[in-house]
Amino acid sequence: MSQFATLRDIRDAVQSGARSAVDVCTEALARIEAHDGTLNAFNTVTRDQALAQAAAVDAHPNRASLPLAGVPVALKDNLCTLGVRTTASSKILEHFVPPYDATTVAKLVAAGAVAVGKTNCDEFAMGSSNENSAFGPARNPWATDRIPGGSSGGSAVAVAAGMTPLSLGSDTGGSIRQPAALCGLVGLKPTYGRVSRYGLLAFASSLDQIGPFTRTVEDAALALQVLAGHDPADATSAPEPVPDYAAALTGHAKGLRIGVPRALVSDGVDAAVSKAFNEALDAYREAGATLVDIELPYASAAIPVYYLVATAEASSNLARYDGVRYGFRAPAEGGPGTQDDLRAMYGRSRELGFGHEVKRRIMLGTYVLSAGYYDAYYLKAQRVRTLIRRDYEHAFEQVDVVAMPTSPTPAFKIGERTSDPLQMYLADIFTVSANLAGLPAISLPCGFTADSLPIGLQLTGRMFDETTLLSAAHAYERQTAWWKAQPPL
């Protein structure tokens, strides 16, 4: 079985006894060891724990009943893992060891998955390139001088490089879908509330969602099956029943109505991305889908709304990192034997513990929430957010899914945009609306540039209708071979 085997292939082989979970795990660990020096996908590799989890799967009396039997999984380093350090790629949490597992982590392991480590990401998931990590950038396996996307860059790299067939990321404004697109993978952001966030280090609580990276749409469906569902430990998780996602994958697009916001995607999109996107639409049409031109008049305001809402929530969520209960505390400024006062300790711990982008967003969020500006910025942004939601509600009266490119450009070079945060924020132009509206969205491979850089197609669906979303994505994937391509490692 190749390193690029799918989750489904590995699961089937372990369930049937054709392969042992320990064998699969050993191969994944070897692959990580061979390539992570270059790619920097992992902050922590949990070799011993992974082998123990794999041995437990092999010893399971009924491993055929485990829906993810022996599937190696890489976990974004902002998901709490019992006894395994969880850093969010920040110095302030460099030595933080959670006393509990995130619900998603516990569910995966209970389903037979084997957690091989914690992946690199932008610090506290703030970024679109993985360059804001305190532990250095992760690198795109398709071109190692380029970014893998972010913020869940390491999770994307782990799957793209054939280290694991599955990883988890978190998506606040595109942080699963954009790196999936830039690394040639399937990345799914489920509906807000579909997957428990208990144990996810909060960035922007009204936007954050956890989801999988996989090589195929079917694998995404199999992973979501395990991840989805209500969790009493997360008050925002939804009680809606969980359908059989894989059963909905018919491979047919006949009768599917696809909305295309032409005005939005006509400007500022790289020519190769535009070409691949239009060819994907043609493929859908040939497969029997109907393309419908739609308007999303407020979508152009999504980036400003996002950066007002997300930074406001981040400034509040990150107030907890103050050097008292966990995380880094700066030593007293006067040296050993002296003591700062409390406020100085807070200020210095946060100064030295947080990186530039995190500080920038805390500053912006604090400002937009401060007296005199709250109404003009935060409240105003929340009102426009309502208009963006309504745009989609109107669109879904006519169509089943909305199609856009995932990212306006392919992977850019490391260092190219670091000096201009605003330019970096524009990478999220097509992805942030799904978070603002709470909608499920998926990115899947739809081509390559002339330089062999992957391009992603994004589909957005109705609230809690991952079934239609996955089915639509699967129909396209079955007609194409993009997902089979492997990076030149």
Partner 1 sequence: MLAFGMAATFSRSQIEAIAALAHLRLDEAEIELYARQLGEILEYANQVQNIDTTGVPPTASIGARHDADRADVVHTSLTRASALANAPDANLDAGLFKVPRVIG
Please check whether residue 9 is in contact with residue 222, taking contact to mean a CB–CB distance below 8 angstroms.
no
343 forms part of the interface with partner 1 (CB under 8 A): yes
Residues 113-152, interacting with partner 1 (CB under 8 A): none
Q: Is 360 in the site for partner 1 (CB under 8 A)?
A: yes
Q: How far is the CB of 204 from partner 1 (least distance, A)?
A: 11
Task: List 405's β-bridge partners, or say none.
Answer: 457
- Does residue 254 carry a catalytic annotation? no
The catalytic position among 133, 152, 155, 175 is 175
CA 163 – CA 480 distance, rounded (Å): 23
Stretch of 29-37, 60-68, 159-167, 369-377 lying at the interface with partner 1 (CB under 8 A) = 369-377
Residue of the chain from 463, 469, 472, 473 that contacts partner 1 (CB under 8 A): 463
- Beta pairing, strands 290-293 & 257-260: parallel
Show the DSSP H helices in 17-141 as ranges.
21-39, 47-59, 103-110
- The nearest distance, CB 221 to partner 1, in angstroms, is 22
Q: Which of 26, 274, 300, 486 binds partner 1 (CB under 8 A)?
A: 300
Which residues lie below 8 Å from residue 110, measured CB to CB, with a gap of 6+? none
Determine if 206 is a binding residue for partner 1 (CB under 8 A): yes
Q: Residue 53 CB, nearest distance to partner 1 (Å)?
A: 21
Given 89, 151, 196, 349, the catalytic residue: 151
- Specify the DSSP class assigned to residue 420: -
Of 249 and 303, which has the nearer Cβ to partner 1? 303
User: Is position 89 annotated as part of the catalytic site?
Assistant: no
Pairwise CA distance, residues 221 & 8, whole Å: 10
> In the range 81-120, which residues lie near partner 1 by CB under 8 A?
95-97, 99-100
Buried b (16+ CB within 10 A) or exposed e, 447-486: bbbeeebbbbbbbbbbbbbbbbbbbbbbbbbbebebbeee
Least spacing, CB of residue 235 vs partner 1, in Å: 4
Output the CA–CA distances (angstroms, integers) from residue 301 to 3, 119, 128, 146, 380, in the order listed: 42, 32, 19, 29, 12
Q: Count CB atoms within 10 A of the CB of residue 291.
A: 17
Q: What sign has the CA pseudo-torsion 34, 40, 44, 49? A: negative
Give the x-and-dash track for 301-320 against partner 1 (CB under 8 A).
x-xxx-xx------x---x-
Could you give phi then psi for residue 76, rounded to 5 degrees?
-55, 140
Report 264-283 residues binding partner 1 (CB under 8 A): 267-268
203 binds partner 1 (CB under 8 A): no
- Residue 205 is among the residues annotated as catalytic for this protein: no
Segment 380-439, which members bind partner 1 (CB under 8 A)? Answer: 380-387, 389, 408, 421-422, 425-426, 429, 436-438
